[in-house]
Amino acid sequence: MLVKTTRFDTIDVSVEDILQFSHGLPGFPEEKEFAFLSNQSDGPFAFLQSITEQNLTFMIVEPFTFFNDYSFEIDPVISEELGISESNPPQIFTIVRVPEKVEEMTVNLSAPIVINWRDQKAMQIVLEKTSYTVRHRLFPEGLPGEIVQGGK
């Protein structure tokens, strides 16, 4: 399927990479289909690109790459709606915010995206009663050496 985007031009997306968000995303309830675009360089980041709105792209990351103690429980009602279980575990991502200074990147740990790849269903859930924030610093100690060296 060809998808027009402002960030990536026109891209060819495999049907297997299209996720259904039956409730949309918070702030974007009408956006129900997103293409999952993995990072070609094997880095930890990926993108969610709206199928219908070419200007709507989110950078995402698996939070466990940076926060190995990140944990939360998924409500059983949500698990059932998404079709996730012990035999069909979800993959978890969080949305990344990239400010002008890359070293100040943050992730929204209080609203993870839960994906059931088998059925191509996804949902962003808002955690209640959590100490996680919507702007948790990704690099609190500064950028890793290889990123700094690979830059300017």
Q: What is the tens place of the pLDDT at every residue in 67-92? A: 999 999 999 999 999 999 999 999 99
pLDDT score, position 145: 63
User: What are the CA-CA distances from residue 6 to residues 16, 18, 52 (Å)?
Assistant: 22, 18, 12
**Spans in the chain with pLDDT lower than 50:** 147-152
What is the pTM (predicted TM-score) of this model?
0.89
Q: 127 with 134: CB under 8 angstroms?
A: no
Structure tokens at 85: 């279980």
CA 73 – CA 50 distance, rounded (Å): 27
Phi, psi of 19 (to 5 degrees): -105, 140
User: What are the CA-CA distances from residue 73 to residues 93, 99, 116, 124, 130 (Å)?
Assistant: 14, 30, 15, 13, 11
pLDDT score, position 19: 98
Q: What is the CATH number of domain 2-150?
A: 2.30.290.10
Handedness of CA 137, 135, 36, 73 (dihedral sign): positive
Structure tokens at 139: 């690099």
**Which of 2, 1, 4, 36 shows the shortest CA–CA distance to 19?**
36
CA 75 – CA 135 distance, rounded (Å): 23
